[in-house]
A and B are shown apart, each in its own frame.
Chain A
């Protein structure tokens, strides 16, 4: 799409030698066109984001309808079994709730209302904690998830990429190579297993670190130095489990890319120019090998998010994962749906941001694909 305008512009650039005003204007025009197209890439990417969210929302809407189950009645039956509540009025209670939640209307009307609520970020009421809204339940827990996940994703990516780069760099010390097998193992095993092993080593055997929660039971969350320290102490183990897994994953990938880079012409040229080893490593090796890593990060975000959900479950960390587990136990359909939607939207938005930022990292993308 870019090509006709862009090509003629560059041809002219080559033919007209002197720096005329016209040429400056033309290159400014070229920049403007490129910028507009880049914007259009962002717009196209943004429409795709909306499309993904719409597909996800529709799938989430349809799955329960296909199974023909009634979340409200299901929940009431569960309560009746557990608490021995009256069985007789169950159908009436269910009907009242359904009317209140709008579940007795035709399917298309429900779908419209559901999408309308979603656009306003209204995820509906919780069944288990009825007057409470799903929004407020998620808002309380998502902070913990963002803190844990954001820190470990960024740290894991940066440290793992650097470690992998060093592993794939022929001039780094030979002893580093012994790290490869552990990294490979870390990359292969799921993070929740690392979590179990960490709890065993640091909590059960040595009693060094707390094994569950985000702060000690009985402490009230407040903005004090002591509380922050306590939260940090509680976050070490779940964070470490997430970090170690990510570390192995990124290191193994980066090592492969660095090794592939070794024979490339630009590496040989950089070497022949007599550049400093450090400069070749960062500016030539890492700079190029990093690009597939970033693409990989965009693809892996979903896995990283769900991995964190399971870690929170194991460590009873009060983030989305713990709430999801509670909601599944209480068969609170609306909370489950809300969490699923929140995580899908977060992953989609994060992927969108990475895709939009990618052209800044890889200048080749800006004009050709944009």
Chain B
């Protein structure tokens, strides 16, 4: 319970110099966060799940020889032992090293896809909702079409047409090209609501420029929605990447979670009883998805106080 609270604090509060010293700082800054965290258990659970993964990856990078993630670097088909804590696979990868190297790669795909998608989506949403007119009609048409076409299929086409297959970063970018529609839709709806608020009206009447209204008046109120869209997009990006990898369109030389799943299916590890091969990626993926899901549920509570049962 302690870990996520501290990460939360590290993330959200800069360290200001308050004259009252530590106790004042605690009362003003840390205590409200802890009290808020107690009220929002999904956020805590979500952040802890992801923290556990990050700590595992971090410690692994520091204390374990993680270069053995390549095939033929270890004896094949060994059950877990002191030497190989997660065992080895049919092609002689050290699966502990695979877990250490692969988890951040998969998260990286999700982060690239999620951040590009949210940035593009936000810009498009603002263009559409703030300026309206034909821009808005065009964006709405694009978004409606994009929501009907399953993104994975377009990704399949992109992936088979890139010779030599996608690298990890290319995969993130490719996913972003189809993933921006959802954030664009959510944020556009919010901008439309904000546009009609009286404080925006006042800012407009007092002669603020469009950009100043967007950044000074609207952005602060949109941050919760943008953050929530970001978390959802990261999850969607990871989901799409694992899907692509499972049907054999992933980066074959990278030990991502999805590629590990792919090799598992390819060599039918489940039927062969090699539980140590498929279990770690499955558990890691469950941690990632449940973690992101919980965080987005927690953010929902933050941005939509009406959902609160007790204050």
Contacts and interface: CB of A to CB of B under 8 A. Distances in A.
Contact of A63 (B149, B161, B286): B161
B5 to A, nearest CB: 22
Given A63-B161, A190-B239, A325-B247, A203 B153 contact: no
Interface string A253-265: 0000000000000
A59 B178 CA distance: 12
B160 A333 contact: yes
Interface string A184-210: 110111101100110110011000000
Interface in B129-181: 144-145, 147-154, 156-158, 160-163
A310 B264 CA distance: 14
Interface stretch (A131-139, A141-149, A298-306, A362-370): A298-306
B163 A211 contact: no
Contacts, number: 126
Given A188-B293, A328-B248, A52 B275 contact: no
B246 A336 contact: no
A123 interface: no
Interface string A39-72: 0000000001001100110011001101101000
Interface stretch (B32-40, B87-95, B218-226, B265-273): B265-273
A291 interface: no
A320 B239 CA distance: 20
A59 B148 CA distance: 14
B148 A64 contact: no
A216 B19 CA distance: 76
Given A196-B278, A203-B271, A204-B270, A190 B145 contact: no
Interface in B240-272: 242-243, 246-249, 261, 264-265, 270-271
Q: How large is the interface on A (under 10, 10 to 19, 20 to 34, 35 or more residues)?
A: 35 or more
Contacts of B154: 59, 63, 340
B120 interface: no
Given A63-B158, A69-B163, A324-B247, A200 B270 contact: yes
A328 B150 contact: no
Interface stretch (A15-23, A110-118, A269-277, A343-351): A343-351
Contact of B246 (A185, A199, A200, A310): A310
B214 interface: no
A303 B157 CA distance: 17
A299 to B, nearest CB: 6
A59 B249 CA distance: 19
A185 B290 contact: yes
Contacts of B247: 309-310, 313, 321, 324-325, 328
Interface residues of B, number: 40
B154 to A, nearest CB: 7
Contacts of B59: none
Contact of B156 (A59, A303, A314, A328): A328
B285 interface: yes
A344 B153 contact: yes
Contact of B273 (A52, A184, A204, A328): A204
Q: Is the interface of B mostly helix, strand, loop or mixed?
A: helix
A55 B145 contact: yes
A313 B278 CA distance: 16
A340 B156 contact: yes
Most buried by B among A64, A189, A328: A189
B248 A63 contact: no
Interface string B202-215: 00000000000000
A52 B145 contact: yes
B79 interface: no
A52 B157 contact: no
B52 interface: no
B86 interface: no
A331 interface: yes
Interface string B95-133: 000000000000000000000000000000000000000
Given A63-B161, A200-B270, A189 B286 contact: yes
A189 B271 contact: no
A329 interface: yes
B265 A347 contact: no
A337 interface: yes
Nearest to A65: B161
9 contacts: A59-B154, A60-B157, A64-B161, A187-B293, A204-B273, A211-B271, A309-B152, A328-B156, A331-B160
Interface of A: 48, 51-52, 55-56, 59-60, 63-64, 66-67, 69, 74, 184-185, 187-190, 192-193, 196-197, 199-200, 203-204, 211, 299, 302-303, 305-306, 309-310, 313-314, 321, 324-325, 328-329, 331, 333, 336-337, 340, 343-344, 347-348, 351
Nearest first, the 3 closest Cβ-Cβ pairs linking A and B are: A302-B150, A188-B293, A67-B161
